[in-house]
Amino acid sequence: MFMYPPSMQTWSTTPDTLLIRIFEYGALAALHDRDLPFAILATHICRRWRSLALLSPSVWCKLPVHPRRAGLTKFLLNHVGTTAPISISIHVGAGGSAHGQQNKDLKLVFAHARRIAGLYVRVHSGASGVFVASLFSGPSRLELPALEHLELISATPDGNDQLSIPLFVESTFPLRSVVLYRADFWCRSEIFTGLTRLTWAIHVSRIPPLSYASLRDLALACPALEHLKLDGVFPILSEGVSYPKLHWDSLHTLELAMDQTPTSEKALANHPRYAADFLALFSLPALRVFAFASGWRVAWAEFWRALPVLARTLPALRTLRLAATTHDDVSDASPALFAAFAQLRCLTLAARPRQLRAFLRPWIASAVAGTGWPDLELLTLRWADGGAGAVDRGIADDVALIESMHKAARTSFEVFWDSGYVRPIP
C-alpha cells in the first residue's frame, strides 16, 4: 500500500478548520507581495486544499491592487461572498504598464468600501501622495464605516510629496490599529479615541520633529492605547524644563527605535540628558514589555545613562527586548540591567557576537553569586546583522552555563536561538 511521506501524512490529517486559519494567515502575510495571491497558490497544491479554499470566503478577503497583478481583483472578488470583511493593499506608483486596469480594479474594490476592514497603502518611490489624500477627502472620498486597520507606508525620498492624514479629524472610523511610515498626521485626531495599536516611523527631514505638546495631544487622543511603536519619533525637549507627565495607564507594550535620522539628531542636539528626560515624561504603571533598537552609538550611550529613570518609569516591566547593531562595548550592560529590572521574566538580545559575549560574561559571575535575574524564564538570542550563521561556540558555552545554573535553582528557564534580527518597522 502506498504511504505518504511523514510531512504529507501530517497535512492530510490536519483538521479543515486549522487549514483554513493557516490559509487566512498566509493570505494576509502575502498581501503585499508581487507574486500570485496566496489564495490562488493554495488552490494548486492538491484537490483537498483547492476545495477548502474555494469554499472559504475568508481566504479570498485579502485583495492586492497592484499594477503587476492587474485583472486579478475581479477574480478574487468573485470568491469573497457578500458579507465577509475585506482588506485591500493598494500600491501607488509601483511600476508596470497596467495602470488603467489598476484603476478599474480600484473601482471594483471601492464598490465594497463599506466592508473594508483593513486598508494598506504603499506609495512607491517616484510617486505622489496626492492619490492617498483623494481617498479620504473631497466629494469622492471613501466612506469606510468598518475600517479597523490603516497602514500608510511611503518609500518616497524627501524631495517628493509626503503622506499626511490630517483630514481624518472629521471622520468616524472604528480604527483599532494604525501603521504610519514616513507619514504625518494631526495628533489631536478624534478617530484615535478607540485606538489600541499605533506604529509611527519618521525617517525624513520634511516632517518636523514633534513638540512636547504634540506628544501630549497624542496621549490624550489615544486613551485606550495598548501597544505603541515609535521609530525616529522623538520630541524636541528643552534641557532643564520640567514637563508634566504623560499618563498612559492602558499601555502594556512600548517599542522605541532610535537610529541616526534627521528627527533623532534634532531631538538630541545640545541635550546631553535627552533620553532620561524623554523617558521621564511618561507614567506607565501597567507596561509589561519594553523594546529598544538602535544602530547608533549616541543612542545607546543615552539609553544606558537613562536606565535609572527607566526603572522608575516601568515598575511592572517583565519583558525586555534589546537590539544593538553598533560595535560598542557593552561589558557593563548586564549589571546595569540587573539593577534596573530585577524582576525580569523574558529577555531578548539581538547583538553582534562580540557584544553578546561581553554581555554574558558578567551574567555568569552574577549567577554564581546568586544575583542577576533569579526569576528569568526565557532568554532569546539573535544575531544583530540579520544572518543566521553558525552559533559562536564561546557564546553557546556561556549560555549553556547560565542555563544550567538557572535550572539548578528552578526548572522554568528556556533558551531560544532565533535566526536573526528583524527590524520591527515597517
* Tens digit of each residue's pLDDT (9 = 90 or more) over 179-193: 988 877 766 667 778
CA distance 273 to 268: 8
Indicate whether 244 belongs to any domain.
Answer: no
Q: Domain span at residue 356?
A: 318-426
Greater confidence (127 vs 298) lies with 298
Indicate whether 47 belongs to any domain.
Answer: yes
Burial of 131 (0-12, 13-18, 19+ CB in 10 A): middle
Q: Which of 183, 185, 184, 118 is nearest to 155 (CA)?
A: 183
Distance of CA 305 to the CA centre of its chain: 26
pLDDT band at 302 (very low <50, low <70, confident <90, very high): confident
Comparing 95-109, 239-253, 357-371, 373-387, the range with the smallest average pLDDT is 95-109
Indicate whether 135 belongs to any domain.
Answer: no
Query: Domain end: 111, 127, 160, which one?
Result: 111
One-letter amino acid identity for 81?
A: G
Query: Domain end: 73, 89, 111, which one?
Result: 111
Q: Average pLDDT for residues 320-330, to the nearest whole number? A: 74
Comparing 86-100, 174-188, 338-352, the range with the smallest average pLDDT is 86-100
CA distance 200 to 232: 8
pLDDT of residue 228: 95
Query: What is the model's pTM?
Result: 0.84
pLDDT of residue 137: 63
pLDDT of residue 220: 86
Q: Which three cell numbers stand for residue 421?
A: 534580527
Q: Average pLDDT for residues 374-392, to the nearest whole number? A: 71
Across 98-107, 195-204, 382-391, which has the greatest mean pLDDT?
195-204
Indicate whether 345 belongs to any domain.
Answer: yes
Share the mean pLDDT of the chain. Answer: 78
Query: Domain end: 111, 131, 157, which one?
Result: 111
Query: Phi first, then psi: what are they for 35, rounded to 5°?
Result: -80, -170
Res 328 pLDDT > 70: no
Indicate whether 252 belongs to any domain.
Answer: no
Indicate whether 31 belongs to any domain.
Answer: yes
Indicate whether 206 belongs to any domain.
Answer: no
**Burial letters for 135-149: b for 16+ Cβ neighbours within 10 Å, e otherwise?**
bbbeeeeeebeebbb
Greater confidence (217 vs 155) lies with 217
Res 197 pLDDT > 90: yes
Res 167 pLDDT > 60: no
pLDDT of residue 239: 82
Res 426 pLDDT > 50: no
pLDDT of residue 229: 94
pLDDT of residue 39: 80
pLDDT of residue 254: 95
Res 419 pLDDT > 70: no
Give the residue carrying C-alpha cell 465594497: 112
pLDDT of residue 206: 64
Indicate whether 278 belongs to any domain.
Answer: no
**Burial letters for 360-382: b for 16+ Cβ neighbours within 10 Å, e otherwise?**
bebbbebbeeeebbeebbebbbb
Res 4 pLDDT > 60: no
Number of domains in the chain: 2
